[in-house]
Copies of this chain bind each other. A is one copy, B any other.
Amino acid sequence: MTDESSSPTDEPVRTLPAVAVVDAQSPGNIGTIARAMKNFGFNDLLLVDPPALDPDGEAYGFAGHAREDILPNATEISFTELVDTYHTIGCTAVTNEDDNSHVRFPYSTPADLADRLPTVAASTALVFGRERVGLTNEELARIDEICSIPANAEYPVLNLGQAATITLYELRRLTLSDETQLPAIERVRAPEQTIDRLYDQWAALLEEINHPEEKQEKTMRMLRRVFGRADLTEREVNTLLGLLRRATERPEEK
């Protein structure tokens, strides 16, 4: 697991998985994969028997910002060199049902890999096959492990670009850690005291509009359920509070 060439004090460094595409026919798919790599923080694109990638063609057209680095820096490599250099994970839609054959079984899902790979320091390549038939049994037999995306039993065969996109999305934890474009916090719930003031104001309003006393408790409970599961922000509570206060304290003269 440790890198023999590193000094004794060095911690093993996790290398980001490379992405290998074997014998793709469509430049557009390679562009799509490059874009997904950029979106999810991968860098190294390896191409086995690629089609010509015209800078004015579909590969560059589909690559988004990856046209500036990932695509022009892609490395052409032979399949043998690929399996010799990397721990290879071959992606396929069709697995074996059981262990009668080991070619496509056992397999991991991308989510399984996302759980496991972050704790592994090694050179890894995710390997995607050609459009129509994916990776052949002969290729899969030379590959270290199998990955398959769970999908509709009636039609589990994903398009190459889409399969790679989903796999890289699941494995983003390897690359992005917490550094996504999204704020780490999805919601900021208002302080409990603030929320309590909201309920107090509702209670005042109920009284003001002569809500039947016997229904009061039940209604307050419902309000607490509704707002409880909405995780109100402080700003939302304050705006609601203002509205309710004015609804409650409306001047008698209209």
Contacts and interface: CB of A to CB of B under 8 A. Distances in A.
A98 B188 contact: yes
A235 B187 contact: no
B149 A169 contact: yes
Interface in A96-112: 97-100, 102, 106-109, 112
B38 A95 contact: no
Contacts of A38: 152, 155
Nearest to A152: B41
Contacts of A39: 151-152, 155-158, 162
Given A186-B107, A236-B225, A252-B254, A152 B181 contact: yes
A233 interface: yes
- Number of this chain's copies in the assembly equals 2
A1 interface: no
Contact of A156 (B93, B109, B153, B180): B180
A232 B205 CA distance: 20
Contacts of A142: none
A182 B150 contact: yes
A206 interface: yes
B32 A186 contact: no
Interface stretch (A13-21, A49-57, A78-86, A243-251): A243-251
B62 A159 contact: yes
Range for the number of chain A residues in contact with chain B: 35 or more
Contact of A106 (B159, B176, B187, B252): B187
Interface string A147-187: 01111110111110110011001001001100111110011
A33 B196 CA distance: 42
A236 B246 contact: no
A172 B150 contact: yes
Given A95-B182, A106-B186, A233-B99, A246 B209 contact: yes
A65 interface: yes
Given A94-B181, A240-B226, A162 B32 contact: yes
Nearest to A234: B99
A48 interface: no
Contacts of A194: none
Contacts of A210: 246
A233 B106 contact: yes
A157 B62 CA distance: 13
A150 B162 contact: no
A231 interface: yes
Contact of A183 (B40, B95, B230, B239): B95
